[in-house]
Structure 1
Amino acid sequence: MPRSFIKRIATIAASLALAYSAGAAAAPSHPAFKVQVTGQGAPVILIPGLASSGEVWDGTVAHYCGSRQCHVVTLAGFAGVPAIEGPLLPAVEQQLSDYIAANKFDHPIIIGHSLGGFVGMKLAADHPDQVGRLVIVDTLPALAAVQMPSITGAQMKEMAAGLRTRMESMDAETKRANQMKTLQSMITKQEDIDRAAAWGKQSDPATVTNAMVEMMSEDMRSEVGRIKAPTLVLGSWIAYKDYGSKPMFEQMYKSQYQQLPNVKVELADNARHFIMYDDPAWMYDRIDNFLK
């Protein structure tokens, strides 16, 4: 084989190696979450809630990812994904924005549950030109204001600090018992409760506490006014029927989202907090109509 040919092949190989290494260096990293990509077509980003795996969206992916490409994230510190240093929610928000830009997504659909819905809300408010449509599954702009709508920012931070103290003072057995009790109020079927509990056991306790405190400390009620994306909010109320009627809970949801100009709020009758488990048909029907 001529030496000139060998030299030419070596030059091409070196050039390719440099190109790939340059591309890898240029690609933004996202240690605040891992991503599972499924399907082809217009992008959909799905964000799970506190201490949950992206697997919570398996049924949603099966429903939507024939004609769309789903990017299912699991946040750092949850369900076995390594934790990161520093506040989680701002890191996830910024890295999701970078991920959208790096992949040149054209106004993707964002679907988030609970804490994931709060992250989606912040992403759409802080980067309004990046998000096409937003689906928020059972969360609110100001969780701390549910019982006291007039609560101030300082009072929210004080309440969140108290929550941190309570969570950090619990021993492991008490935490497990509280987790199971909480999940039983949020999910109906035992197999789904067990699945979510397993994710909780794989989650970093400090990350779970810090993320919950971060969310409880924030008031997004006025910030949602910066969201440009049409937004669908799907809520639940049946687990709290002893505390009020459906119209009362609907009014509470709508009042928290009143600054969001293009929002539709609907509450499920037969689903607890994990609507994708308790009544997926209802959830898909509402999202289908919204996307049309």
Structure 2
Amino acid sequence: MKRTLQTLILLTTVMLAGASQAAAPAAFTVDVTGQGRPLILIPGLASSGEVWQGTVARLCGAQAGHACHVLTLAGFAGVKPIEGDLLAQAEQQLADYISANKLGQPAIIGHSLGGFLALKMAIDHPTRTGKLVIVDSLPALGAVQMPSATPAQLQAMSRQMQAAMRAQDEASSSAAQHRTVATMASAPADVERIIGWGQRSDRETVISAMGTLMASDLRQEMTKVKSPTLVLGTWIAYQAYAPRTAIEATFQQQYQQLPGVQIVLADTARHFIMYDQPDWMYARVEQFLD
């Protein structure tokens, strides 16, 4: 009887733990397209998984040989926000998603914030991460202007930036968003689409996630990445601040601890390479993944 009671208590504890885990707020939604080798695509800050629509059509079409798992993070583009550290929760839930769906070591393509998350996956969960394609993202965004910045300095910069963003009224915030996005894509229709996602994003989620990016420095942790990595960068949107050679040098410096990394800069694309130079991007991704 005592053993039976202990068994019932144990089963109840396990069931309650499982229910608690199942009830954890979802850090992302997933849309799956195609069949074949798994490929995870992660959009950037305040972006929808729709940003990968053309990429999915190219890589996960009828004869393409991939199954695309396209994420949209919580709080972005109309997806319900969650409390706490979004990126930390998204990383752990993505690792769990890969295991639960028996995806092995899927290739991961991440744009901007999504690229940062892909790098974190490769650092913290190497057995669940295959090849990486990092689209216009850096391991230490906050250190671009000050490469020698200490963790304390990066955190201070992040707090200051977040405070400034929270202090903006709605009109000022909207105007700043329009100015920023206008530099990130060339076609007006693409700019409006991106702005629309931003308008449907939870403001506090966006501010906090941007704060995490600014405060983080993965440069020295690049040595832990075992995944073959392709980095696709851009420069024309930033040419008012630095020439192409300087921007390329920044990419090389930030990724110098990652053995074998391939870094290629687009000639005409802005930040949203998948919109500005899609064929250029697709060709390099296909060659890399094959």
Given candidates 246, 266, 269, the residue that maps to 1:268 is: 266
Among candidates 214, 222, 237, match of residue 220 of structure 2: 222
Task: Return the alpha-carbon distance in structure 2 between the equivalents of residues 207 and 266 of structure 1.
Answer: 31
Residues 30 and 95 in structure 1, CA contact (< 8 A), matched pair in contact too: no
Residues 43 and 108 of structure 1 are in contact (CA less than 8 Å); yes or no, is this contact kept in structure 2?
yes
Structure 2 residue aligned with 1:206: 204
Specify the alignment match of 2:27 in structure 1: 32
Distance in 2, Cα, partners of 1:87 & 1:25: 22
Distance 1:291 1:41 in 2: 13
Q: AA paired with 2:69?
A: H
Contact 1:138 1:236 in 2 (8 A): yes
SS at match of 2:67: strand
Residue 17 of structure 1: aligned partner: none
What letter is aligned with 2:212? E
Whole-Å Cα distance in 1 between the matches of residues 132 and 240 of structure 2? 31
Match of 2:75 in 1: 77
Deviations 1:82-136 (A, max 9, x none): 0001010000000000000111112101000000100011011101111110000
1:10-49 to 2 correspondences below 5 Å: 31-49=26-44
- Write the distance in 2 (CA, Å) between the matches of 1:96 and 1:73: 9
How many percent of aligned residue pairs carry the same amino acid? Answer: 55
Quote the residue 2:46 is aligned against.
51
1:18 equivalent in structure 2 = none
**Cα distance in structure 1, aligned partners of 2:102 and 2:188:** 41
**Cα deviation, residue 241, structure 1:** 1.4
SS of 2:126's partner is coil
Aligned: 1:252 with 2:235: no
Name the residue aligned to 2:139.
Answer: 141
Correspondence for 2:190 = 192
Cα distance, 1:25 vs. partner? Answer: 6.2
TM-score, L = length of structure 2: 0.90
Between the aligned partners of 2:260 and 2:93, the Cα distance in structure 1 is: 26
1:7 match: none
Mark the CA change 1:157 to 1:26 in structure 2 (over 3 Å): closer, same or farther. closer
Question: How far 1:247 moved relative to its partner?
Answer: 2.0
Q: Which whole-Å CA distance do the structure 1 matches of 2:104 and 2:119 have between them?
A: 18
What secondary structure, in the 3-state scheme, does the structure 1 residue paired with 2:240 have? Answer: helix
| Structure 1 stretches of at least 4 aligned residues deviating more than 6 Å after TM superposition | 24-27
Q: Residues of 2 paired with 1:216 and 1:255: CA distance? A: 17
Indicate if the aligned counterparts of 1:27 and 1:102 stay in contact, CA closer than 8 A: no
Q: Aligned partners of 2:226 and 2:253: how far apart in 1?
A: 18
Q: CA deviation at 1:27?
A: 9.0
Displacement of 1:204 = 0.4
- Structure 2, unpaired ranges of 5+: 1-14
2:179 to 178, 181, 185: 181
Instruction: Using the TM superposition, name which of 235-244 and 32-41 deviates more.
Output: 235-244
Aligned residues: 271
Shift of 1:256: 0.2
The letter for the 2-side match of 1:210 is S
Once the two structures are superposed, residues 192-218 of structure 1 have per-residue CA deviations (whole angstroms, 9 ceiling, x without a partner) of 010011111110000000000011111
In structure 2, C-alpha distance between the alignment counterparts of 1:26 and 1:204, rounded to whole Å: 25
Q: CA deviation at 1:249?
A: 1.2
Q: One-letter code of the match for 2:32?
A: V
For 1:158-204, what per-residue CA distance to the aligned partner results, in whole angstroms no more than 9, with x for missing partners? 00000011100000000110000000111111000100111111100
Deviations for 1:55-75, whole angstroms, at most 9, x for unmatched residues?
Answer: 000000000002110000000
Unaligned runs of 5+ in 1: 1-20
Q: Which segment is superposed worse, 28-37 or 114-123?
A: 28-37
Aligned equivalents of 1:138, 1:219: Cα separation in 2: 16
Following the alignment from structure 1 to structure 2, what is the Cα–Cα distance between the partners of residues 172 and 244?
A: 31
Secondary structure of the structure 2 residue equivalent to 1:117: helix
Out of 160, 164, 167, which is 1:166 matched to? Answer: 164
Alpha-carbon separation, structure 2, partners of 1:210 and 1:25: 28
CA contact (8 A) 1:113 1:136 kept: yes
Matched residue SS, 1:243 = coil
SS where residue 69 of structure 1 aligns?
Answer: strand
* Counterpart in the other structure of 1:89: 87
Query: TM (normalized to structure 1)?
Result: 0.90
Q: Distance in 1 between matches of 2:29 and 2:78?
A: 11
